[in-house]
Amino acid sequence: MIPVRGYEGRRVAVLGLGRSGLATARALKAGGAEPVLWDDSPEARSKAEVEGFECRDLTKQDGFTGVEVLIVSPGIPHLYPKPNPVIAAAWAAQVPVDNDVGLFFRSLATDEWNRFETLPRVIAVTGSNGKSTTSALIHHCLDHAGRPSQLAGNIGRGVLDIDAPGDGDVVVLELSSYQTDLARSLTPDIAVFTNLTPDHLDRHGGMGGYFAAKRRLFAEGGPDRAIIGVDENEGAYLANQLAEGPGDDRVIRVSVSCKLDGEGWNLFARKGFLSEYRKGRQVASIDLRNLPGLPGVHNHQNALMAYGALRGLGLAPRLIEQGFHSFAGLPHRSQTVAQINGVRFVNDSKATNADSAAMALRAFPNIRWIAGGLGKDGGIASLTGEMDHVVKAYLIGHSAREFALQISDVPHEICETMDIAVRKAAADAEPGDTILLAPAAASFDQYADFEKRGEDFTRLVEELDGQ
How does pLDDT run across 260-281, given as a tens digit for each residue? 998 999 999 999 999 999 999 9
pLDDT digits (tens, 9 = 90+) for 437-460: 999 999 999 999 999 999 999 999
Domain assignment present for residue 2? The answer is no
Q: Are residues 160 and 70 in the same domain?
A: no
pLDDT score for 197:
87
Question: What value does the mean pLDDT take over residues 342-369?
Answer: 93
What order of strands is seen across the sheet that includes strand 390-396? 335-340, 343-347, 434-437, 367-372, 390-396, 412-416
Domain assignment present for residue 352? The answer is yes
133 marked among binding-site residues: yes
Q: Are residues 175 and 84 in the same domain?
A: no
pLDDT score for 58:
94
Looking at the predicted structure, is the pLDDT value of residue 319 above 90? yes
Count of the separate structural domains present in the chain: 3
Question: What value does the mean pLDDT take over residues 214-236?
Answer: 95
214 marked among binding-site residues: no
Looking at the predicted structure, is the pLDDT value of residue 39 above 80? yes
Looking at the predicted structure, is the pLDDT value of residue 429 above 70? yes
Domain assignment present for residue 292? The answer is yes
Q: Are residues 298 and 156 in the same domain?
A: yes
CATH code, domain with 318: 3.40.1190.10
Yes or no: say if 406 and 384 are a contact pair by the CB < 8 Å rule: yes
Residue 111 has a CB neighbour count (10 Å cut-off) of 6
| Phi then psi dihedrals of residue 90, to 5 deg | -65, -45
Helix, coil or strand: residue 129: coil
pLDDT digits (tens, 9 = 90+) for 370-388: 999 999 888 999 999 999 9
Domain assignment present for residue 5? The answer is no
Last residue in a domain, options 273, 302, 325: 325
Q: In terms of residue numbers, what domain contains 357?
A: 335-465
Q: Which residues contact 306 (CB under 8 A, 6 or more apart)?
A: 134, 137, 138, 141, 320
pLDDT score for 242:
95
Taking the C-alpha atoms of residue 249 and residue 279, their distance in angstroms, rounded to an integer, is 9
pLDDT digits (tens, 9 = 90+) for 116-146: 999 999 999 999 989 999 999 999 999 999 9
pLDDT score for 290:
87
Type and span of the H or E element at 60: none
Taking the C-alpha atoms of residue 441 and residue 82, their distance in angstroms, rounded to an integer, is 24
118 marked among binding-site residues: no
Q: How far apart are the first and last CA of the chain?
A: 46
131 marked among binding-site residues: yes
Quick one: pLDDT band at residue 328, thresholds 50, 70, 90?
confident
Type and span of the H or E element at 456: helix 450-465
pLDDT score for 61:
87
Last residue in a domain, options 325, 344, 369: 325
pLDDT digits (tens, 9 = 90+) for 95-121: 999 999 999 999 999 999 999 999 999
Q: Are residues 209 and 94 in the same domain?
A: no
Q: Are residues 230 and 272 in the same domain?
A: yes
| Phi then psi dihedrals of residue 441, to 5 deg | -160, 160
Helix, coil or strand: residue 363: helix
Question: What value does the mean pLDDT take over residues 419-424?
Answer: 98
pLDDT digits (tens, 9 = 90+) for 388-417: 999 999 999 999 999 999 999 999 999 999
Q: Are residues 230 and 275 in the same domain?
A: yes
pLDDT score for 295:
87
Looking at the predicted structure, is the pLDDT value of residue 221 above 80? no
8-state DSSP, 163: P
Last residue in a domain, options 325, 355, 370: 325
Beta strands in 89-189 (DSSP E): 97-98, 121-126, 149-153, 170-174
Return the top range by mean pLDDT from 133-142, 218-227, 330-339, 358-367.
133-142
Domain assignment present for residue 47? The answer is yes
Give the mean pLDDT of the chain.
94
Taking the C-alpha atoms of residue 361 and residue 438, their distance in angstroms, rounded to an integer, is 8
Q: Are residues 112 and 214 in the same domain?
A: yes
130 marked among binding-site residues: yes
pLDDT score for 465:
77
Type and span of the H or E element at 349: none
Q: Are residues 94 and 228 in the same domain?
A: no
Domain assignment present for residue 270? The answer is yes
pLDDT score for 467:
65
Q: Are residues 306 and 349 in the same domain?
A: no
Q: Are residues 261 and 288 in the same domain?
A: yes
Provide the H-helix boundaries in 145-258: 177-182, 201-204, 207-219, 233-242
Helix, coil or strand: residue 437: strand
128 marked among binding-site residues: yes
Q: Are residues 239 and 256 in the same domain?
A: yes
Taking the C-alpha atoms of residue 437 and residue 426, their distance in angstroms, rounded to an integer, is 12
Q: Are residues 108 and 94 in the same domain?
A: no
Question: What value does the mean pLDDT take over residues 49-58?
Answer: 94
pLDDT digits (tens, 9 = 90+) for 1-12: 999 999 999 999
Yes or no: say if 383 and 404 are a contact pair by the CB < 8 Å rule: no
Looking at the predicted structure, is the pLDDT value of residue 52 above 80? yes
What's the count of helices (H) and strands (E) in the chain, helices before strands? 15, 20
Yes or no: say if 467 and 426 are a contact pair by the CB < 8 Å rule: no
Domain assignment present for residue 168? The answer is yes
CATH code, domain with 348: 3.90.190.20
245 marked among binding-site residues: no
Helix, coil or strand: residue 435: strand
Domain assignment present for residue 210? The answer is yes
* In the chain, % of residues over pLDDT 70: 100
Question: Looking at 196-205, 305-314, 423-432, which range is the least confident one?
Answer: 196-205
CATH code, domain with 44: 3.40.50.720
